[in-house]
Amino acid sequence: MLWVIIAILAVVVLVAILLITSYNRFVKQRNLIQESWRQIDVELHRRYDLIPNLVETVRAYAAHERHVFEEVARLRTQAVNTQGANPEQRAAAEGQLSGALRQMMISVEQYPQLQSNQNFLGLQRELTDTEDRIAAGRRFYNANVGDYNTRIEAFPSNLIANSFKFSKAGYFEVKDESVRAVPQVSFGTIGSVAGEQAPPQMQPGQPSSGQIHPQLPGDQGNYQQPQIPGGYPQQGYQAEPPVGGPPAGSPAPQDGQPPFTGGQ
């Protein structure tokens, strides 16, 4: 009988230890989420302070962009007024503000004098650094929220969560369509730059010499390498060879010999 009582007491003590450990872990995770959120809030306030100075600097050079400035000011006020809201509402307001700021920065690209202004460059650099810290803090906060919410839903920790009213935390996700948009990729333009035509495609069955003939400065497209079946240049052609070709005056390759590749 004594051993039964001891066994029961041991089980009760073990369960109590597990309950206390699980509860304390919930408290620790909740405090970690609150701390990581405060770090984000600090950087958001820093951005709120930078925006008026940045707007005033841009206004001095681009006064007619009035609608852009008014939109930024309105969304900044809206974001400041949502400081007591939950993370989802804060994220929605911050996403709209980020979009307005991005639009303003795009509109100033047509003002070279503004882009060379040291005050504007300094504010732009500080804003970029602040945005990077906000993004890093958001990733850290969301990772902590994910672990916390998983424990609230998992068994048996969900018993402790329900007993002591630990509720799920909200994520801080900025729903920016420009970031989430799928980039358009055109495989026909790989290797070319803007305004430059893509290289011609080789037709099926067309012979190739295996050499690359670059367009040299000053050629103006005059260099033409006539081809015959087999891919070798015609005999007697006197045009200048391309860079990497055989030296001037060297005989053309005979049948069955590989073309000159520039090696010794």
And the tokens for 243? Answer: 């860079």
pLDDT band at 251 (very low <50, low <70, confident <90, very high): low
Which percentage of the chain shows pLDDT scores above 70? 66
For the packed helices 87-107 and 118-153, what is the interaxial angle rounded to 10 degrees?
150
Tens digits of per-residue pLDDT, 140-160?
999 999 999 999 999 989 999
Q: How do the domains of the chain map onto residue ranges?
A: 1-177
pLDDT surpasses 80 at 221: no
- Give the residue with greater pLDDT, 109 vs 12: 12
Q: Is the peptide bond before 156 cis (omega within 30 degrees of 0)?
A: yes
Backbone angles phi, psi at 233, to 5 degrees: -70, 155
Tens digits of per-residue pLDDT, 39-49?
999 999 999 99
Instruction: Name beta bridge partners: 233.
Output: 227
Class of domain 1-177: mainly alpha
Average pLDDT for residues 19-45, to the nearest whole number? Answer: 94
pTM comes to: 0.63
Tens digits of per-residue pLDDT, 54-93?
999 888 888 778 888 889 999 999 999 998 888 889 999 9
